[in-house]
Structure 1
Amino acid sequence: MAVPGKTNTLTDVTGLRVGQAEDASVQTGVTVILPDQRAVCAVDVRGGGPGTRETDALAAHTLVDAVDAVVLSGGSSYGLAAADGVAAVLGAQGRGFALMEIPGVPVSPVIPSAILYDLANGGDKAWGEAPPYHQLGKAALAAASHEVRLGRAGAGYGARAGSRMGGTGSASLVTADGITVAALVCINSFGSVTLPGSDVYWAWPWEIDGEFGGARPAADWSAEPEDWGAAKINPGARENTTIACIATDAALTPAQAQRLAIMAQDGLARAIRPVHTPFDGDVVFAVSTAARPLPEPVEFNLARLGSLAADCLARAVARGVHAAA
């Protein structure tokens, strides 16, 4: 039986820290997922309007087989500059990819990232030629620790989940044989995270120990096919996105990490309705810190991890919105 880890967050995975930074006046923020050592990473993109950086380099057939960090950011396309700030610091520390060491030639930090749209949330966006994301990336990296703040924190600081306050959520599971899988998510969805006309989360069947309030639907409740409840009224192209990172301490190849990311996307479908729309830029990264081997039979245990990852992601969505409220 799998149970939540000690903190019920992404940092229950051995070898990972998380940094979060916000600018309250701008109503935006950045989250950095920082592995202690370079880590295998993959990505799955399902939304119709994604904004990403260096995701092509994560394909299983490409040269680079590990990353130095993953960055999630608000700010729409401006937020991609957060990874520049992280790259500048890590490169100065000598962390990055190089085919060989050549005196005077810097390494190249590999930092895939994804952004969500929070430009219309009322914050002061009159930044001219100096958007805050480069510095926010540096600040989030400097804040990396084993603490993960939920709700209005990091990249989820200025987000909206349908017509509700969005935010940052996280959840973890540890299996009976000692494997840890966890999720961190920043929820800025077009779709609703709650059943129409109620405060019951769509993710309620996967809740553990009342971690997001314990509300349950009435016994005779049923879903109307076109009642989306608290979804956003006027969605705009690329104005909605849920971005997430799944992590495990099981050793995975890039192709196996890709399968984990694909299966984890089902967690968004369990927690948000509708999801993966033309208006959303939904992106899920999967990271392996390889602290323990993936048990045999490998294919079966990869399927286990994928199912648990989807459960964690659904719970993380509800935890993030619940904490923001």
Structure 2
Amino acid sequence: MARPGTRNLITDIDGISVGQAEDARIGTGVTVIVPDCPVLSAICVAGGGPGTRESDLLSAGRLVSDSVDAICLSGGSAFGLAAADGVMAGLKAQGRGFTLVPRPGVPPTPIVPAAILYDLANGGDKDWGDTAPYAGLGRKAFDSAGKSFNLGKAGAAFGARAGLAPGGTGSASIVTKDGLTVGALAAVNSFGSVRMPGSEAFWAWPFEIAGEFGGARPEAGFAFDPEDWGAAKANPSPRENTTLACIALDAVVTHDEIQRIAQMALSGMARAIRPVFAPTDGDVIFVISTQKREAEGSRAMAIARLGELAAGTLARAIARGVYEAERQEGRP
């Protein structure tokens, strides 16, 4: 039977590390997913108001879609895109990056796709003067990368909100009986609610494993008004919101296949948040693969399995991030 990995984190994928940094005064943070070596990557953008950097590089036919050195997720809205500068600086110091023709004195260029969420209205001190803090936070997050990292009020979701609940950084993993591993990390700043209206149960409850986000279940016969969004930020009314995610695989896949997995993984957000993909949401999913294990069976069936595992694991990561943030704020 499939089960979570040892840590139940995206870092259960061999060769993947995560670093985080926060600024409590500003009320913001950065999360960086760092593979040990360049990886194949894809992106799927579902929200109507995304903020991304280097995302076009991940489209089919691009030169460096298999040469991604890190994925950067940040608060700060468009200011936060500068966090990738700090990540690039750290990678350059290690001599990492893409080069077409090596030449003396010409450094490789680190490939760092990035996405941001909106946390500018969370009450933190945003009067940072002429220089935004995000490049520094990006470098700090990169330098801290390791196998363990904090969930809840941490990293890119430090200043986030999930509907009326505190937002959070969540992660989860799954290992199949034939040894494939899928991990997910999410920074949850959703407009929609992660819980069912009038219930303690998360929308993602059917996918929960071993009580990882509290074990609450809807009561027998539970029903709700289709127009009731529960504890969304408004019910209904749009604001600036985003859920950012990164899925990591160890399976050998092609670019077309990893793009299909990214599209399937979007359903994980829909399983965990309601409403989702709204006009002002910036929902984005990155998928990366370390290409270390061959999947069994036909290619179509293998990709169907991986896409479904990615979706379920992402739904768990989203609920887990909010659950841990609520615990940090004193919710039982």
TM-score range relative to shorter protein? over 0.9
C-alpha separation in 1, matches of 2:237 and 2:109? 38
Contact 1:15 1:291 survives alignment (8 Å): no
Counterpart in the other structure of 2:320: 319
CA shift for structure 1 position 253? 1.7
In the TM superposition, 1:44-193 aligns within 5 A as: 44-64=44-64, 65-193=66-194
Contact 1:235 1:279 survives alignment (8 Å): no
C-alpha separation in 2, matches of 1:162 and 1:47? 16
Q: CA RMSD in A?
A: 1.0
C-alpha distance after superposition, 1:203-254 (max 9, x if no partner) = 00111111111111111111311000000128555x1000000001112222
Counterpart in the other structure of 1:250: 251
Counterpart in the other structure of 2:269: 268
Contact 1:250 1:293 survives alignment (8 Å): yes
CA shift for structure 1 position 313? 0.5
Counterpart in the other structure of 1:4: 4
CA shift for structure 1 position 113? 0.5
C-alpha separation in 2, matches of 1:208 and 1:93? 38
In the TM superposition, 1:231-250 aligns within 5 A as: 231-233=232-234, 236=238, 239-250=240-251
Name the SS of the counterpart of 1:91 in structure 2. Answer: helix
Name the SS of the counterpart of 2:5 in structure 1. Answer: coil
C-alpha separation in 2, matches of 1:70 and 1:165? 24
Extract structure 1 runs of 4+ deviating beyond 4 A: 234-237
C-alpha distance after superposition, 1:132-164 (max 9, x if no partner) = 100000000000000021100100110000011
Change (3 A) 1:16 1:235: farther
Question: Residue 52 of structure 1 aligns to which amino acid in structure 2?
Answer: T
- Structure 2: runs of 5+ lacking an equivalent: 327-332
C-alpha separation in 2, matches of 1:252 and 1:288? 8
Name the SS of the counterpart of 1:103 in structure 2. Answer: coil
Which TM-score applies when normalising by structure 1? 0.98
Change (3 A) 1:302 1:131: same
Name the SS of the counterpart of 1:221 in structure 2. Answer: coil
C-alpha separation in 2, matches of 1:7 and 1:262? 26
Counterpart in the other structure of 1:222: 223
Counterpart in the other structure of 1:39: 39
Name the SS of the counterpart of 1:296 in structure 2. Answer: coil
Check if 1:13 corresponds to 2:13. yes
C-alpha separation in 1, matches of 2:67 and 2:5? 25
Contact 2:241 2:280 survives alignment (8 Å): yes
C-alpha separation in 1, matches of 2:252 and 2:147? 21
C-alpha distance after superposition, 1:155-180 (max 9, x if no partner) = 01100000110010001000000000
Question: Residue 204 of structure 2 aligns to which amino acid in structure 1?
Answer: A
Contact 2:200 2:218 survives alignment (8 Å): no
- Structure 1: runs of 5+ lacking an equivalent: none
C-alpha separation in 1, matches of 2:199 and 2:224? 12
CA shift for structure 1 position 188? 0.2
Aligned residues: 324
C-alpha distance after superposition, 1:78-131 (max 9, x if no partner) = 000000111122123210011110111111111000000000001110012111
Check if 1:26 corresponds to 2:56. no
C-alpha separation in 1, matches of 2:282 and 2:105? 39
C-alpha separation in 1, matches of 2:70 and 2:175? 23
Which TM-score applies when normalising by structure 2? 0.96
Question: Residue 112 of structure 1 aligns to which amino acid in structure 2?
Answer: P
C-alpha separation in 2, matches of 1:25 and 1:254? 41
CA shift for structure 1 position 296? 3.3
Question: Residue 121 of structure 1 aligns to which amino acid in structure 2?
Answer: N
Q: Percent identity?
A: 60
Question: Residue 294 of structure 1 aligns to which amino acid in structure 2?
Answer: A
Counterpart in the other structure of 1:207: 208
